[in-house]
Amino acid sequence: MLRSVFRCLRTNSVAGQRSMSQSSLAGKVAIITASTDGIGLAAAQALGKRGAHVVVSSRRQANVDQAVALLQSQSIQVTGTTCNVGKREDREKLVRMTLSQYGGIDILVSNAAVNPFFGNIMDSTEEVWDKILSVNVKSAFLMTKLVVPHMQRRGGGTVIFVSSVAGYQPMPALGPYSVSKTALLGLTQALTPELAQSNIRVNCVAPGVIRTRFSSALWQNEGIMEEFKKQLSIKRIGELEEVGGVIAFLCSEEASYITGETITVTGGMTCRL
């Protein structure tokens, strides 16, 4: 009896050690775009707390400085630079800086998105479409294209795209943005078989409404929120850590057999295409 208890304890502790090491990202180098606030910053925190060297970036130097200081204060290994993902020279600088600082790249979290238009989709202009598709979709692909050769040099890697529940069900007044988020679901699947040959996994997260500046017009309006909550099983909006943790899981060895997948983080909204 005693012997079987000890055997059980030993097995559990081995399982515990295994799961700890599989969730660890020690020594991995992670680029997270648009990561000085909101979901990107939460992803940087989640990856950094698991031991990754994180590279944060966004358009404004002051925001980069603030995010780097915050992450350093949490004992996370971090460096940062400005990068507007819509600009080729900025994307190249981000990759160059990461390589010179850390010598390689293992993880890309492509998180940047803009939404310059609210209204009826039929009122949206060519300029709106160019901007949204360029930043939200094309830059996500071009960032991936830039980092893949460096992941191949390391023997593999992980790419995560940040889509949205709006990619499944277009949100009222957010037509072009929603379409750009649907495109990321397609991009995830289009890249998956090709990059699997290089041991690179490609996954996507589709958040519902998460408490950030981007979504504040929604969650700061009590009337809208009451109506919106009817669609939720969990009757509250999501918190940043609840998305950061899913991104970190997808980047970890615990997710080693997951690729081409989109995980919705929505508090139980019905999502289907």
Handedness of CA 68, 70, 72, 74 (dihedral sign): negative
CB atoms within 10 A of CB 166: 22
176 touches ligand NAP (CB under 6 A): no
Helices (H), ranges, the chain: 2-23, 38-49, 61-73, 88-102, 126-133, 139-154, 175-196, 216-219, 222-229, 240-251
Residues 1-60 that bind ligand NAP (CB under 6 A): 33-34, 36-40, 58-60
CB atoms within 10 A of CB 1: 4
Nearer to ligand NAP among residue 25 and residue 204 (C-beta):
204
178 touches ligand NAP (CB under 6 A): no
Write the interaction track for ligand NAP spanning residues 234-273; mark x where CB under 6 A is met and - where it is not: ----------------------------------------
Q: Cβ 218 to ligand NAP, closest distance in Å?
A: 7
Q: Cβ 81 to ligand NAP, closest distance in Å?
A: 11
Nearer to ligand NAP among residue 105 and residue 162 (C-beta):
162
Cα 239 versus chain centre, distance: 14
Q: Cβ 254 to ligand NAP, closest distance in Å?
A: 23
- Known catalytic membership, residue 168: no
Residue whose entry in the numeric block shows the structure tokens 């943005």: 177
What distance, in Å, lies between the first and last C-alpha atoms of the chain?
54
Contact residues for ligand NAP, defined by CB under 6 A: 33-34, 36-40, 58-60, 63, 83-86, 111-114, 135, 162, 164, 207, 209-210, 212-215
